[in-house]
Amino acid sequence: MPHIWVEYSSNLEAGVDVPALLKTVQDAFIGDGTIFPFAGARTRAVPVNTYLIVDGHPDNAFVHVLLRIAKGRSEADRQEAGRRTFDAVKAFLAPVTASRPLGISVQMEEADEALNFKTSNYRDYLQRRGATEKVVA
């Protein structure tokens, strides 16, 4: 953890660099890695092809970021990370906001500890690679 979903209306694909948006979101949320571990981050884009936004005008668009985390972080840490992520998304999408109707939202959820089953060997591979910094493909 954390798991990050970036849902967006598919009418943004022509004007938004989605991989760069994912990197912006992940970098902002993870920050320096002291609260949320980089090795646990799984960030994905989810284009939404069928949607109805307010009056249905074809220019209307949205980006919704869902941040799912394990329990155990203080409310202050969650607030700070959420605000940092929201501000980064707004800044990244400012050119889009200036040219069309756009809704931006960021939501954070805590996973249920009793129903959260997971395993990963990402840290092992990061260590083998000698990665001390974030590596982006």
Catalytic residues: 2
Show the tokens assigned to 97. Answer: 């906001």
Tokens 């400012």 -> residue: 94
CA distance 62 to 54: 11
β-strand pairing of 61-69 with 3-9: antiparallel
Show the tokens assigned to 62. Answer: 């949205």
Using omega within 30 degrees of 0 as the cis cutoff, is the peptide bond preceding 95 cis? Answer: no
Tokens 């694909």 -> residue: 13
| Residue 133 burial (10 A CB sphere; 0-12, 13-18, 19+) | exposed
